[in-house]
Amino acid sequence: MGWLSRPRLRGVNADGSTNSLDGPVVIGPSAAVIGGGPGGLMAAEQLARAGASVTVYEQMPSMGRKFLIAGRGGLNLTHSEPLPQFLARYGDKQSELTPAVQAFPPSAVQDWCKGLAQDSFIGSSGRVFPSGFRATELLRSWLRSLEGLGVDLQRSQRWLGWDETTGALLVGSADQDKLLAPPKMLFPDITIMSLGGGSWERTGSDARWVPKFLAAGISVTELQAANSGFLVQWSSEFRSKFEAAPLKNIALTVNNTTVRGEAMISAHGIEGGCIYAVGRELRSAWEEQGAACIEIDLRPDLSLEQLEQKLLHSRPKDSTSTRLQRCLGLPPVSVGLMREATNNSLPRDHRELAQLVKALPLHLASPEGIDRAISTAGGVAFDELDDRYMIKKRPGVFVAGEMIDWEAPTGGYLLQATMSTAVAAARGAMNWWTEQLNAT
């Protein structure tokens, strides 16, 4: 069948089941996986377990670089919230992603982690982490497991597109922007592409695939920064005092959407979980109006009336900053933000001051660039794919992960959908190959 089919898969049926050596033997398909991030590695694992002969091609010198960077502060595998609420995090792409996530849900990710000798635990926020917390040991175990399954992990190998005449995959040895040898022409039975979006270019997620897909007539929605900070024109005094200061236990409202959590003041604006959670709404407002505004509730656990009562107990000679800190327990960064947002014109009236604490308006200039984003929105349009994640215009070629047009906030939703779509693409690829085999 394909250029990688070889006898070592003897005794494995196309559906992944085994048969006795004296019975009929089916050699599994050859499979090329383009991209050695979490999506590509998960697809490779699923294919190998189903009986395929798998080679992974990664353009960087090592596998899973984005996986490692995502896990620097603790690898957030998935989230423990109920599945209906979980699926709603995917916004307008919920219906497209639901079958894949239901087929490989958060519990399956936890089971997969356990299978690599890494138990998982649920943090106080509901997020799920491996017992080792970071990604390093999990990735090592994963790569050892893949090699044990016979997966060939090829590093510093860049996908260069399709050959116009034969339709072959073109892959060449790469060192950063240099090709070290003429490209090879590959003819696998099935191909799964998991090339990532356009964020964190240093990990290999550089969106070089986009013009190649467009040239092949495959529709790609423009990549945009997602889970990124927004720029704010801070005064030099505020920036020098509060850069990298966290805003804890706050609530943000954009239009009719309110989220709770934390944010952080950066040198150029504001970022963090709360901002990422309303990123879609903020980006839409910015695209429509050229600017966006959020309302920040600095004391979401207290009602407006409770705040007013607390402010009434301040001493007459207290400054406004002292009243906010002593009576309401606001930290200096929150008080500084109130002064910054009001051009240092805080009201003295307790009612007006309480209202400002509950709904502090902050005007945002624009999203930070893709190079500073955690992930990207946009990618291969779902209309280009069938329900097996196969490109309709390229039979036998499947896509997975962040290179597809969906987005999600941080909190485990990104990695979950990446892995779920990789599993769906791998299973879809094996089903498609079996159909082709039976048809011959």
Give tens-digit pLDDT for 343-380.
Answer: 999 998 999 999 999 999 999 998 888 888 889 999 99
pLDDT at 203 over 90: no
Distances (CA, A) of 125 to 129, 167, 270, 272, 408: 11, 48, 21, 15, 17
Asked whether residue 352 falls in the same domain as residue 411, the answer is no
Asked whether residue 434 falls in the same domain as residue 349, the answer is no
Mean pLDDT calculated for residue range 211-219: 96
Last residue of a domain, one of 340, 364, 388: 364
Asked whether residue 220 falls in the same domain as residue 304, the answer is no
Classify residue 101: in a domain, yes or no: no
Asked whether residue 299 falls in the same domain as residue 405, the answer is no
Burial class (CB in 10 A: 0-12, 13-18, 19+), 216: middle
Cα(155)–Cα(42) distance, integer angstroms: 16
Of the chain, the percentage scoring pLDDT greater than 70 comes to: 93
pLDDT at 228 over 70: yes
Helix (H) / strand (E) containing 57: strand 53-57
Asked whether residue 215 falls in the same domain as residue 346, the answer is no
- Model pLDDT, residue 3: 35
Asked whether residue 143 falls in the same domain as residue 265, the answer is no
User: How many domains does the chain divide into?
Assistant: 2
| End-to-end alpha carbon distance in the chain | 11
Provide the CA 183 distance to its chain's centre, in angstroms: 30
Read off the pLDDT band of 27 (50, 70, 90).
confident
Cα angle 104-420-405, degrees, rounded to a multiple of 5: 145
Taking each helix axis as running N to C, give the angle between helix 350-358 and helix 304-312, from 0 to 180 degrees, rounded to the nearest 10: 140
2 — phi, psi (to 5°)?
-120, 175
Which CATH number does the domain housing residue 197 bear?
A: 3.50.50.60
Nearest to 41 by CA among 122, 128, 140, 186: 140
Cα(44)–Cα(32) distance, integer angstroms: 8
- Model pLDDT, residue 106: 97
From 66-75, 152-161, 374-383, the region with the lowest mean pLDDT: 66-75
Asked whether residue 62 falls in the same domain as residue 147, the answer is yes
Classify residue 173: in a domain, yes or no: yes
Mean pLDDT calculated for residue range 249-274: 93
Asked whether residue 173 falls in the same domain as residue 47, the answer is yes
Cα(138)–Cα(67) distance, integer angstroms: 10
Asked whether residue 176 falls in the same domain as residue 294, the answer is no
- Model pLDDT, residue 373: 87
- Model pLDDT, residue 176: 64
Mean pLDDT calculated for residue range 398-408: 97
- Token pair listed for 173: 């040895």
Asked whether residue 37 falls in the same domain as residue 144, the answer is yes
Read off the pLDDT band of 172 (50, 70, 90).
very high
Asked whether residue 292 falls in the same domain as residue 165, the answer is no
Asked whether residue 281 falls in the same domain as residue 327, the answer is yes
Q: pTM of this prediction? A: 0.86
pLDDT at 19 over 70: no
Classify residue 174: in a domain, yes or no: yes
Classify residue 92: in a domain, yes or no: no
56 — phi, psi (to 5°)?
-100, 130
pLDDT at 42 over 90: yes
- Is there a contact between 227 and 250 (Cβ–Cβ < 8 Å)? no
One-letter identity of residue 355: Q
Classify residue 114: in a domain, yes or no: no
Range of the domain at 395: 7-74+135-225+376-439
